[in-house]
Structure 1
Amino acid sequence: MNDFPADFIFGSGTAAPQYEGAAFDDGRTPSIWDTFSHSGRTMGATGDIACDGYHKYKFFVKLMVDTSLEAFRISISWSRLIPYGRGPINSKGLQFYNNLINELISNGIQPHVTLSHLDLPQALEDEYGGWLSPKIVKDFSEYADVCFKEFGDRVLYWTTLNEVNIAALGGYDEGIAVPGRCSDRTRCAEGDSTTGPYTVVHNMLLAHSAVTKLYRQKYKSTQKGKVGVNIYTFGLLPYTNSTEDVMATERAKEFYIGWIMNPLVFGDYPDELKKRAESRIPSFTKEESEQIKGSFDFIGMNHYITVFIKDDPTMMSDMKEFYADLAVELIIERGGAPVDQYPVLPSGLKAMLEYLKQVYGNPPIYIQENGQMTRRNGTLNDTTRVEYLQAYIGAVLEAVRFRSDGGE
């Protein structure tokens, strides 16, 4: 670790649905994750107990100290803090987050906070469709205002939303993630895959930029914090050296990454995405474009796996939705890795870091999620995870050195 710059931060992270448990305790109301996980679509896995961090947070902070972590990324359960999405603050929820943040700081661990990590209050989903409605912008901004007011004296790093791109695709195109919407009625009771993900990303970007504007106008001068947003980044490499696959890979970068990053940096969606999605993707007004452009202090980046891109124009003849618009085949080269583990291809992470630098002006980046799935085997043999992390930390170090040396 001493090979990294002094200001490089090593930490760990989790999310309220994964960590807190106590799903129905002390005034917390259901989120869309609770509803989805109790629908039978997660093979019995719920957040009812999870790691029981709500009760055991001091124990977990001690483990972080023993591991020499410098930072810990948490998310706030909106429905624990404000049970029905708007209205009165839940005093017990407020006390929990104050206690957790204070425990981290007293042990020298920097808190990084995500405002929404796939757990929108179910009350707002029921009322107006959650992220499908522009009404979410006002409610999300008021919720963020509470968080900044109550915790901003100690929290300097705020991530508004987690994996904007994948949250929209998984939850509103494929129906495999919360809230489980899609066009396929054999899998989803409701939803429209042709417009859903484009609408959701649009509203998420508007909500994110409104929250950033709020923080900068009301809190930044005194709290001195930073606000960013998180996207998922596959490593994206061409399957062959053919012109078609190389061009398809560039298109995939625009669809998966540019879909979010282009509005944040340039004020609008990529031209190729707009051309293919046509009227199914909403347009920004001039005022919205100006508000979104530059509305971040850092980019949160999640990365686990590299995929190879093969051009597939036959996709465009299918139903009009994101993957048909993209028109590629995603290929995972496992290299002998079992199906329940990620292949170790750290070159994909390095390539994405360099892509964000070259195309989007070298923004500050926090890799907020990265790691290896490891099946429990009754032992402490964690070799596959060790090898994965060593390889990916090495790739990050190469990218950092490349940047510091002035490399292009």
Structure 2
Amino acid sequence: MRSLGVRNFRLSLSWTRLLPHGTGEPNQEGVAFYSRLIDALGAACIEPFVTLYHWDFPLSLYEQYGGWTTERVVADFTAYAEVAFKLFGDRVKNWVTLNEPETFCDQGYGSGVHAPGRCSDRARCTEGDSSTEPHLCSYYALLAHASAVRSFRKLVPGGRIAMSTSIGMSVPLTDSAADVAAADRQQTFNAGHFLDPIYTGDWSDVRKAAVGSVLPAFTPQQRQLLLDTRQDFIALQHYTARYTYHNASAPPLYASDTTVGADGVPLPRADSPWLHVFPSAFRDLLGWLHRRYNQTIIVTENGCSAPGEGSRPMHEVLCDLDRFRVDYFRQYIGNATAAVEEDGVMLEGYFAWSLLDNFE
């Protein structure tokens, strides 16, 4: 990495590598491993950006109380965060609390396709309630984040901390007022899922109306905690976008998506079936976040999978012979540059996903 001129490196800690049972005394082998890594980065003049939680919840705690759907997780996550801050806060100044809580909440407790595999569909999941548990997970993840940030302010003076959120962009299919309003509703619902509570102390009105009474309500004390622990930057993870149009038969947002533009031209698709290339939407998203939250942004993930890379010869994938990845990065970074230079977006940094793929 030093020979490449890399100056920043994002990595994640494993909760159970530091605390094998989720709580208690630290595992000294785990402490030594991360300490050596952080020291090696420092020796190479590479600044570490450390994420506390990237979806590996301690099994012993899950067996005790079910993970992110109960209040106990707030105290346990905070205690784990405090251990990490005390061990590494002298050498690490940039932190992320949770990696994409919308993913582990919705897919872990809603669809059940990610751990812990809970959902209402008994053909897929042995237990769970998709109507309530994703919202409970979001609620306690936000409170755990805020509680950890409160400890961070005391333990890592001069440091910076945020929660990373994966956000797409809803681009109106046409210029009609109905499509513009539908795209705005959907964008607020999705992008504001975690950011609105962090910056305003409460869920957006769009989310409250769409989810209804099963959405947990923040107490006045919790709203104040969220406001008092406002993060230092927006840690943005972005890959793709869609066209959005008004659909009267699609409550509660009355919005639907398509990957085909009004001109009939489909968006190019990466190897991942959900990832369509839409570079100008990246600039739109950066501008939307800037106008809504007026906060410094660091892109903590942006990248793509190349079409057919799972079946093509390795040398073709590594050499990017059709320039799919090169063109993706060129277009997306170009739009990010335009957002800074022409739109006034406060974009401080950009991490390509990924130098060492998901094993990092």
Q: Do Structure 1 and Structure 2 share a fold, with TM-score over 0.5?
A: yes
In structure 2, do the counterparts of structure 1 residues 201 and 405 end up closer, same or farther at CA, with 3 Å as the change threshold?
closer
The letter for the 2-side match of 1:140 is F
Q: Is the 8 A contact 1:226 1:297 kept in 2?
A: yes
Shift of 1:389: 0.8
- CA distance, structure 1, for counterparts of residue 270 and residue 325 of structure 2: 13
Structure 1 equivalent of residue 350 of structure 2: none
TM-score of the pair, normalised by structure 1: 0.77
Task: Choose the corresponding residue for 2:106, options 169, 184, 190.
Answer: 169
User: Do structure 1's residue 332 and structure 2's residue 259 form an aligned pair?
Assistant: yes
- CA distance, structure 1, for counterparts of residue 292 and residue 270 of structure 2: 34
Task: Choose the corresponding residue for 2:331, options 391, 402, 407.
Answer: 391
- CA distance, structure 2, for counterparts of residue 405 and residue 390 of structure 1: 19
- Give the secondary-structure state (helix, strand or coil) at the position aligned to 1:132: coil
Structure 1: 5+ residue runs without aligned partners? Answer: 1-63, 317-324
Shift of 1:326: 3.8
More deviation in 169-178 or 391-400? 169-178
Task: Choose the corresponding residue for 1:297, options 220, 226, 232.
Answer: 232
The letter for the 2-side match of 1:381 is C
Structure 1 equivalent of residue 212 of structure 2: 278
Aligned Cα RMSD in Å? 1.8
> Between the two proteins, what is the percent identity of the paired residues?
36
- CA distance, structure 2, for counterparts of residue 101 and residue 207 of structure 1: 25
Shift of 1:344: 2.6
Shift of 1:271: 1.1
The letter for the 2-side match of 1:358 is R
Structure 1 equivalent of residue 349 of structure 2: none
Structure 1 equivalent of residue 200 of structure 2: 266
1:199-348 matches, cutoff 5 A:
199-216=136-153, 218-221=154-157, 224-293=158-227, 294-316=229-251, 325-333=252-260, 334-337=266-269, 340=272, 342-348=275-281
Task: Choose the corresponding residue for 1:109, options 39, 46, 62.
Answer: 46
- CA distance, structure 2, for counterparts of residue 142 and residue 277 of structure 1: 31
Shift of 1:350: 0.9
Shift of 1:313: 4.0
User: Do structure 1's residue 139 and structure 2's residue 139 form an aligned pair?
Assistant: no
- CA distance, structure 2, for counterparts of residue 310 and residue 186 of structure 1: 32
Shift of 1:172: 1.5
More deviation in 106-115 or 269-278? 269-278
Structure 2 equivalent of residue 31 of structure 1: none
Structure 2 equivalent of residue 191 of structure 1: 128
Q: Is the 8 A contact 2:268 2:277 kept in 1?
A: no
Structure 2: 5+ residue runs without aligned partners? Answer: 261-265, 347-360
Q: Is the 8 A contact 1:231 1:260 kept in 2?
A: yes
Q: Is the 8 A contact 1:172 1:193 kept in 2?
A: yes
TM-score of the pair, normalised by structure 2: 0.87
